[in-house]
Amino acid sequence: MGKFAKWIGGGLGFAIGGPLGGLLGFFIGALFDGATVTYQQTGSGPMTSRTTPGDFGMSLLVLIAAVMKADGKVLKSELDYVKRFFVSRFGVETAREALQILRDLLKQDIPIRDICLQIRRNMDYPSRLQLIHILFNISAADSRFEPKEVSVIKSIADMLGISSSDYDSIRNMFIPATDSAYRILEVERTATDEELKSAYRKMALKHHPDKVSHLGEDFRKTAEEKFKTINEAWERIKKERNIV
């Protein structure tokens, strides 16, 4: 059993019900072949328990499928990119399990608005930020971005309640633009050195990998990539301005 099955077997919270549960129920059963999946629930209402690795993983796969279907066709090369991403981060067996579910999801009609509403109501904000970061990461796998895919990621971010400044920051980590280093820190080039230092501290706190430690070490490591990009942007600005 790979890590993906272990994440799910370790417990599902909000993902076992609602639109996500309806979409994934059959696939989860097929993946475990009759094994029991634990349901974690502590209370009733939005975010009454922390997002589990299983919740995050299943939400991620559904959103990946929605992005891949954006242009009306799914190429084998795109599946290969997703597979390579999962292999590099989580290992061969986990990638196999993820691709097994993803292929089935790509055949389904995905009620993306309802799915995003369920995620928004139940998943903490740092975890939602990490979803958007991974979606861009996967879309960047072939070193180019399809406009329709970027548009879908933007729509998903909006429906997940991601602020425009946070979305723009993550987008600039992957799609360079004028003053990208500043945009990653969510400031203008005209900001003073003190404002830049304050912005960096704020971003370092907001995107620290420990914010998603409850998702498990594997997903925490993906957050370290985002944290590294923020630090690199800050180092570029410091060098440009001779900030010590």
Find the CATH number of the domain harbouring 220.
Answer: 1.10.287.110
For residue 129, what are the domain limits?
1-162
CA distance 236 to 225: 17
Residue of 37, 146, 164 whose CA lies nearest to 81: 146
Whether residue 122 sits in one domain with residue 70: yes
Mean residue pLDDT across the chain: 84
Residue of 170, 71, 89, 67 whose CA lies nearest to 125: 170
Whether residue 128 sits in one domain with residue 17: yes
Whether residue 117 sits in one domain with residue 17: yes
> Please, where are the H alpha helices in the chain?
3-9, 18-32, 53-68, 76-90, 92-105, 112-122, 125-139, 147-159, 164-174, 180-184, 193-206, 217-241
Whether residue 183 sits in one domain with residue 150: no
Choose the final residue of a domain: 162, 181, 208: 162
Banded model confidence at residue 154, pLDDT cuts 50, 70, 90? very high
Q: Is the pLDDT of residue 32 over 80?
A: no
Banded model confidence at residue 45, pLDDT cuts 50, 70, 90? very low
Whether residue 117 sits in one domain with residue 222: no
Whether residue 190 sits in one domain with residue 137: no
- Convert the pLDDT of each residue in 108-128 to its tens digit: 889 999 999 999 999 999 999
Whether residue 180 sits in one domain with residue 157: no
Residue range 205-230: average pLDDT? Answer: 92
Whether residue 75 sits in one domain with residue 86: yes
Whether residue 183 sits in one domain with residue 81: no
Whether residue 92 sits in one domain with residue 196: no
Choose the final residue of a domain: 142, 162, 182: 162
Total domains in the chain come to: 2
| Lowest mean per-residue pLDDT among 19-23, 63-67, 196-200 | 19-23
Q: Vertex 137, ends 208 and 167: CA angle to 5°?
A: 60
Residue range 94-121: average pLDDT? Answer: 90
Choose the final residue of a domain: 162, 194, 229: 162
Q: Is the pLDDT of residue 27 over 80?
A: no
Q: Is the pLDDT of residue 11 over 60?
A: no
Q: Is the pLDDT of residue 60 over 80?
A: yes
pLDDT of residue 2: 56
Residue range 231-241: average pLDDT? Answer: 95
The pair phi, psi for residue 64, each rounded to 5°, is -60, -45
Whether residue 169 sits in one domain with residue 121: no
pLDDT of residue 7: 56
